Amino acid sequence: DADVTQTPRNRITKTGKRIMLECSQTKGHDRMYWYRQDPGLGLRLIYYSFDVKDINKGEISDGYSVSRQAQAKFSLSLESAIPNQTALYFCATGRRDSGELFFGEGSRLTVL
Amino acid sequence: AQSVTQLGSHVSVSEGALVLLRCNYSSSVPPYLFWYVQYPNQGLQLLLKYTSAATLVKGINGFEAEFKKSETSFHLTKPSAHMSDAAEYFCAVTRAAGNKLTFGGGTRVLVKP
């Protein structure tokens, strides 16, 4: 089983719909991140959490919200999806004593 | 604020030729630097990392990178490309362990037979 699991892997939705992407990890890491990947732009940070009670905005948080339900779970929500939120979304985890991040396989979201 | 610039969004190399991917960073403090690889339809996996030890870092699959503070660079090389090296490569920087990573725009590598 993957250490960082994202669901769903693929989702097509319509403008205005609420969408939740879920991430769970078995690595025991305290830090979790949501990134968005767009061609030519690399990965951009949406939100991150250093522990269950700590949530921080990244560089592109507008239109998104997150919930850290437990150390192992970190969800990303789009309250009202719009077409320019069509992208590949990655969840990642890390430890406080290491710069390395461990990534899930991604959730591809298409907003029509 | 930190930033990462990868020169060239696409690189095409012949099988057996040198692979050179360029990464320049800006950071107000000595950084931690990383190269990640993304194969089609997969997540990112770590190739190698620099964390202020040796300036020449060896990674998986024959890749290595050299940290040059005077040039603020961390270029990735592989002496002889293999077809399996076709992927997208990302350079990333952070100012401290446990902190968030800032990524470059990525370089997609095509390997020609």
Per-residue pLDDT tens over the stretch A23-76: 999 999 999 999 999 988 899 999 999 999 999 999 999 999 999 999 999 999
Is A94 in a helix, a strand, or coil? strand
* pLDDT level of residue A10 (50, 70, 90 thresholds): very high
pLDDT at A30: 93
DSSP secondary structure, A12-73, as one string: EE-TT--EEEEEEESS--SEEEEEEEETTTEEEEEEEEEETTEEEE-TT-TT-EEEEEETTE
How would you classify the pairing of strands B44-50 and B32-38?
A: antiparallel
pLDDT at B74: 95
Backbone angles phi, psi at A90, to 5 degrees: -120, 135
Structure tokens at B28: 């107000």
Best probe of the A interface among B39, B44, B51, by most A CBs < 10 A, is B44
Residue of B nearest to A4 (CA): B43
What percentage of chain B has pLDDT greater than the value 70?
Answer: 99
A99/B43 CB distance under 8 A: no
Structure tokens at B2: 């930190």
Decide: B3 and B92 in contact? Cβ < 8 Å. Answer: no
What is the gyration radius of the CA atoms in chain A, in angstroms? 13
Minimal CA separation from B78 to chain A, in Å: 22
Which whole number is the average pLDDT over A94-105? 90
pLDDT at A1: 62
B46/A100 CB distance under 8 A: yes
Q: Would you mind telling me the total number of residues written for chain B in this entry?
A: 113
Residue of B nearest to A57 (CA): B100
pLDDT at A56: 95
CA–CA gap between residue B50 and residue B72 (Å, rounded): 13
Mean of the per-residue pLDDT values of chain A: 95
B42/A101 CB distance under 8 A: no
Q: Is the pLDDT of residue A13 over 70?
A: yes
For A99, the closest of B34, B41, B44 (CB atoms) is B34
Q: Does B52 touch chain A (CB under 8 A)?
A: no
Residue of B nearest to A45 (CA): B102
CA–CA gap between residue B8 and residue B95 (Å, rounded): 24
Q: Which chain B positions have a beta carbon within 8 Å of A95's beta carbon?
A: 98
